[in-house]
Every structure is written in structure tokens, then in C-alpha cells.
Amino acid sequence: AEQFLNNNWQNNKLLSNQFVYDENVNAAYVNFNKQFKKTSIQLGLRAEQTTSKGNSITTNKVIEREYLNFFPSVFVNQTLDKNNDISLSYSRRIDRPSYDALNPFVYFLDQYTYSQGNPFLNPQYTNNFEFTYLLKKKYSVTLNYSRTIDVITEVILPDNEKQALYQTNQNIATQNAYSMVINVPVSLTKWWSSNNNLNLFHIGFKAPDIAGQKLDNKSTSFQFKSQHSFKIQPGLSAELNFSYDSPVTFGVMEIGTRYGFDAGVSKSLLNKKASLKLAANDIFNTQINNINSAFPGLYYTLYGVNDRQYVSLTFTYRFGKNEIKPARNRSTGLEAEQGRMKN
């Protein structure tokens, strides 16, 4: 940012943000698959070597890192009979901080509130264990346990020198999470079907030192989603979705209840070559963020409404022959990188 001083435009370092970040990830992986009569096994191992350099020209800070990690995975599926299947899996994964979270530039919201990136953030690592029971190839119950170290968590802390609050991200020491997920699809009538998902979970955070204090927060909560599809007539369908998140303590924040309704109507046109869809998102504008402090000695409340309420009209036309097989949806590392580029 520049300002006009002494008849010249001059760079204002307090309002400028120049952060150069270079990262190189080299990876190699090996997979093994074996199919028996009623049992299938899949083993995998991925190795990643990472070098990174973050240079904040504005604040004159340079952070360099180099690390090597191994990520094993195991999946075993057993068919008990025609109506019953079970599976066991284990995996280790890495989640790197977003680029915005690494930038040490200070963003002032007002004289009492500001946010700042943390160039010293490390990736977080998760070991995940999962057991799934599948009934009649459609009803499922999944039990899950995961342990994450160096958890990247948004925190709001006091700045006593500036008499202000600041938001940043830190690596909170350990997170343990237990969950049970129940998925039940239901065909209520010939024209009405639904899919219902209930996620019950218990989550705990432990950190030896955040602003000089220990943190040991635990919370039990649930999430519920219900999706309903209606076949009104040939070529005309509708959908209604509902979601509910109960209160939960996450790190240093207590997040209040959230719920919402979405709806849509879709019409097939031109011998199914085209479709027209009218959709309404967050119909009652209830996707509200209500956050309170869960940090000892610090009291604050954040209240905000996400801009998720909108109405959209979408027209889709498919060119060419419909019988051509669509391209497979391949998963690449691009999705993870796009997530890290949030602003």
C-alpha cells in the first residue's frame, strides 16, 4: 500500500503485505491388493519429502523447513454372508496449514481486534482407526478413533501490551476423537426417498501451554443430516435437506447450535439432454455462528451470520452422445492445495 507524503507516493510498510512462500513436496507410494473368496486386503505406503521457505518481506522474517514422513494405510473387508459385511482400516495422514495462516502480516479489524498469521505453524498428523458394519449393502454403522498431534487450531488470545484481542493459529498439542456414524437410507414411498446420517462424537483437546495456561477441554456432541428426494412426475423432481449441529467445544472456542434448510426443484428438458434447477440455500437464514470463549480467564462472544442464504437458477445442457462413458473422477493433490489457498 502506498500513501502520498511530501509530494511523493511512498510505500507504507504498516499497511503492506508481501509474503513469498516456496514449497516442494516429493512423494513416492506403493500399493498391494489381494482378493480372497470373502476377504479383500489393501496395503499402502506413501513417503513424502518436503522443503519449504516462507519469506515475509514486510516483517523481514524467513522460516525454512525440511522433513520426511511416511504414511502407511491398511484396509481389510470381510463378507460374512449376503446381508452382512465388516471392514477394518488404519491410516496416517498429514494436514498442512493454509498459506494464509502462515503469513505473519497483521490485519487490523479495529483498534481492539486484529488477526495475524503464524509462520512457525507445523503440519498436523493424524492416526485414524475405523470399523464399519454394513447391513444389506446400504445400512451402515461406523466406529472411529483418531489421534491428532500438533493440531492446527484457531485461537483468540489477549494482547496485554496493546489492550486488544488477536486471532491466530497455533499447534495445540493433542486431539483425541471418538465417533459413531449411523447412515440409514429409507424408501418411504415410490416417489419419496431419504438418506439420514447421525454422527455422535466425543472430542478432547490437551495443550501444556497456551498463553501460559494449560488446556484440557472435552466435549460430546452430535451432527444430524437428512436428505429427502421427491419424484413429482417423470422429468420433475424436488429435494429438501436439513442439517443440525449441536453445541461443541473445539480448542479454545465453544461453538453454539447451528441448523439449516435447503431446497430445490429440477426439471428435465429436451429429451433429457438439458435440465433446469431452481435451488434455495439456507432458506430461513439460520446458519449462525455463535462462539464463546473456552479459555480460562478470557471472556468474549463472537456472533455472525454466514452469507449462505441465496437462490440460484441453473441451466445445464449436455452436448454429444449421452451413451459415452463419463470420465472417471480422479483424486489428486490439487484439491488439498486449493483448500490451503483459502483467504
CA–CA dist 299, 319 (Å, integer): 58
The separation between the first and the last C-alpha atoms of the chain, rounded to the nearest angstrom, is 18
pLDDT greater at residue 207 or residue 124: 124
Indicate if the pLDDT at residue 298 is higher than 80. no
Indicate if the pLDDT at residue 217 is higher than 50. yes
| Three cell numbers, residue 52 | 519449504
Query: What are the boundaries of each domain within the chain?
Result: 2-340
SS3 306: coil
What was the pLDDT predicted at 208?
Answer: 81
| Three cell numbers, residue 219 | 466435549
Band the pLDDT of 4: cuts 50, 70, 90: low
User: Any idea which of 153-167, 203-217, 253-267, 311-325 has the lowest mean pLDDT?
Assistant: 311-325
User: Any idea which of 49-53, 112-116, 223-227 has the lowest mean pLDDT?
Assistant: 112-116
What element of type H or E holds 101?
A: helix 99-102
Q: In terms of pTM, does the model score above 0.85?
A: no
Amino acid, res. 60: N
What was the pLDDT predicted at 61?
Answer: 78
Indicate if the pLDDT at residue 343 is higher than 50. no
What topology does CATH give the domain 2-340? Answer: Maltoporin; Chain A (2.40.170)
CA–CA dist 105, 23 (Å, integer): 19
Mean pLDDT in residue range 62-79: 94
Indicate if the pLDDT at residue 52 is higher than 50. yes
Name the average pLDDT for the chain: 87
Indicate if the pLDDT at residue 296 is higher than 80. no
pLDDT tens figures, 321-331: 655 555 455 55
CB < 8 Å & 24+ apart, contacts of 133-137: 133/84, 133/85, 133/86, 134/84, 134/85, 134/86, 134/87, 135/83, 135/84, 136/83, 137/83, 137/85
Indicate if the pLDDT at residue 124 is higher than 70. yes
